[in-house]
Amino acid sequence: MSAASSEDVIPITVEFSGGLEMLFSNQRKLDFSIAAKDESGLNSNVAFLVRYLCDNVMKDPRKDLFVLDDTVRPGILVLINDADWELEGEDKYEIQKGDNILFVSTLHGG
Amino acid sequence: MAPSPCAVCQTNRALILRPKNHQKLCKPCFISVFEAEIHHTITTNNLFHRGERIAIGASGGKDSTVLASVLKTLNERYDYGVELILLSIDEGIKGYRDDSLETVKRNAKQYDMPLTILGYDELYGWTMDQVVEQVGKKGNCTYCGVFRRQALDRGAAKLGVRHVVTGHNADDVAETVLMNLLRGDLPRLSRTTSIVTSTPSIVPSSPETTSHTNIKRSKPLKYAYEKEIVLYAHHKNLDYFSTECLYSPEAFRGSARALIKNLERVRPSAILDVVRSGEDMAKLVPGGNESCGNGCGGHATIVEEEEGGCGSSNGRTSGGEMASMEKQLTQTEVAAEEGLEVEITTAGTKPPNPPDSDAIPLVSGKKGKKLKGPPHGARKQPAKQTMGQCARCGYLSSQEICKACVLLEGLNKNRPKNSIEVSYDNPEESAPTVNSHEIKCTIVTQISEVEKTKGLIYNS
């Protein structure tokens, strides 16, 4: 694989909370870079990020606790730079450099 | 998408989309609207009285943490004149409650509220770890739910507090409305939709001392969406703890919970709609509030011990309950019972409870979700409940002996309530070759072992 130039990737921060971190090896915060273009050459959006997290980051086999019917499981809130993703176009939101994307579960108990 | 301005202040960028009305709000406006609505719930329902001491049932989770934070804020802002204290119940589950209790301890400092932690061991002589050791991981939620329900009342009585508030939110209430509808349990539908419930003393001549039979319960967050509770905690940086009960993980999987969340995804207002519908239906339940008599005023409803509950402190139904109920319904249909199931249970005739007939196959090593949650044999009675007091502990109960005492008796006699639970405790459960003889041996061995180590303990 050729070394990706800085234009090909987007550095972002992904956070998990509300119990979701348990599905991601107890990691609460991840800083990494994601490809700027998705599988079909379109600008990477949140749907692509979720697929990426499922395939590459999540070690827990219980994928359905994070993703259900190809989207984030109902009951898990997604905040893009602190804004509800429903205000940002949900999974169609195109990821920008330096974005902070937070997944919070409301499903876990106290 | 172009950022939208806040619908209230028209200046800041909106960060929150309110599920109930699609209003777009900025962070400060959301926080103030959220608090104002809780204040409205409290004042319109006359939940608090000046001078009242109120115990907040605190688990360290999002709901009770938000409740404590909001009540402290409102008590100071609107001068309710109430004294707030934190009451935590320690079920005695190592690695689960330990961590969340640490959160409650921090909250006690952060909110400057006195904290009391009361353990199941102290109250009942059994920790949940010990209960599970005896009855196994299936069915233990019944014990936990019954014990917890009384524990808050007993704790309050111990503290001389007559009012306990819990963090039940709109999602919780909507969930119980659906569950009770599906069960056809109208009396409970009526009780669980009530914002104030009480367990008034049946004996009018009892002295003025606080006993655990006259504790008032209320749910100030009843109309608050779980989503907004989590967002409030997030935007206010509240210190809360999320966890999964070790004995009932993923309780939301395949439960009424999942249904509620799916409904919300399609139509966010659905949650409050279900809550309101539940309230409206509750009004139609015959005898729903009649038993209240003069013991309690207004809309308070008598509540008996709940039998459900698992994991989180808010009494959620255990996972897979929808599935098992669906199965039960199918089997009931097959059994071609006439009339409503609710009407059958009064007459002392054996109610149709097909899942129990699965008791034996369960031990054959199948790990399938045959039976979860409370045993269905103990279906509650419909409207004609007459509330009395438990002959052993004095807790409000429609039976001579309350559910907790019955469960305790079973535990203390080292005789688990039914064989299903024991069989699951069998370490060989995964071996498909286990036969009933081996299981009997296991039970006998277990009993004698437990007998050696445990005496008959019960604190009333």
Give residues 263 to 302 of B whose Cβ lies within 8 Å of A: 264-265
Query: Based on the number of CB atoms within 10 Å of its own CB, is A91 exposed (0-12), middle (13-18) or buried (19 or more)?
Result: middle
Please tell me which of B172-181, B203-212, B241-250, B444-453 the model is most confident about, judged by mean pLDDT: B172-181
Interfacial residues of A (vs B; Cβ cutoff 8 Å) = 17-19, 22, 62, 64-65, 73-75, 77, 79, 82-84, 86-89, 93, 102, 104-110
- Inspect the interface and report whether the beta carbons of B243 and A84 lie closer than 8 Å: no
- Inspect the interface and report whether the beta carbons of B60 and A75 lie closer than 8 Å: no
Report whether pLDDT(B457) > 90.
no
Minimum mean pLDDT among A3-12, B163-172, B365-374: which range?
Answer: B365-374
Higher pLDDT, B356 or A30: A30
ipTM value, please give it.
Answer: 0.93
Whether the CA torsion B11, B13, B16, B20 is positive or negative: it is: positive
> What percentage of chain B exceeds 70 in pLDDT?
63
- Inspect the interface and report whether the beta carbons of A107 and B313 lie closer than 8 Å: no
Give the Cα separation of A102 and A79 in Å (integer): 5
Which residues, 6+ apart, have CB-to-CB distance to B455 below 8 Å? none
Q: Taking CB atoms and an 8 Å cutoff, what residues of chain B touch A18?
A: 62, 230, 242
Give the Cα separation of B53 and B48 in Å (integer): 9
Mean pLDDT score across all residues of chain A: 90
Residues B40-92: tens digit of each pLDDT: 999 999 999 999 999 999 999 999 999 999 999 999 999 999 999 999 999 99
Give the Cα separation of B98 and B25 in Å (integer): 37
Residue with tokens 């808010």: B314
Annotated domain spans of chain A:
9-105
For CATH 3.40.50.620, list the domain ranges present in chain B: 26-352+369-378
Side-chain-side CA neighbours of B372 within 13 Å: the count stands at 24
Q: φ, ψ for residue B327 (rounded to 5)? A: -65, -45
Contact B19, B271 (CB under 8 A): yes
Q: Taking CB atoms and an 8 Å cutoff, what residues of chain A touch B15?
A: 79, 82-84, 87
pLDDT at B114: 97
* Token output for B396: 């409000």
Confirm or reject contact between B106 and chain A (CB < 8 A): no
The per-residue DSSP string of B223-240 comes to TS-HHHHHHHHHHTT---
Banded pLDDT at B442 (limits 50, 70, 90)? very low
Residues B204-251: tens digit of each pLDDT: 444 455 555 678 999 999 999 999 999 999 999 999 988 777 776 666
Overall fold of domain A9-105? Ubiquitin-like (UB roll) (3.10.20)
Contact A44, A94 (CB under 8 A): yes
- Inspect the interface and report whether the beta carbons of A107 and B15 lie closer than 8 Å: no
Overall fold of domain B26-352+369-378? Rossmann fold (3.40.50)
Task: Compute, in degrees rounded to 10, the torsion defined by CA atoms B444, B446, B448, B451.
Answer: -140
- Selected residue of B103, B252, B312 to mutate for chain A interface (largest A Cβ count, 10 A): B252
Which H or E run includes B435? none
Nearest CA in chain B to A77: B227
Q: Taking CB atoms and an 8 Å cutoff, what residues of chain B touch A46?
A: none
Confirm or reject contact between B259 and chain A (CB < 8 A): no
- Inspect the interface and report whether the beta carbons of A109 and B27 lie closer than 8 Å: no
Specify whether the backbone of B401 is left (phi greater than 0), alpha (psi in -120 to 50) or beta: beta
Confirm or reject contact between B130 and chain A (CB < 8 A): no
A-B contacts at Cβ under 8 angstroms: 97
- Inspect the interface and report whether the beta carbons of B62 and A106 lie closer than 8 Å: yes
Specify whether the backbone of B453 is left (phi greater than 0), alpha (psi in -120 to 50) or beta: alpha
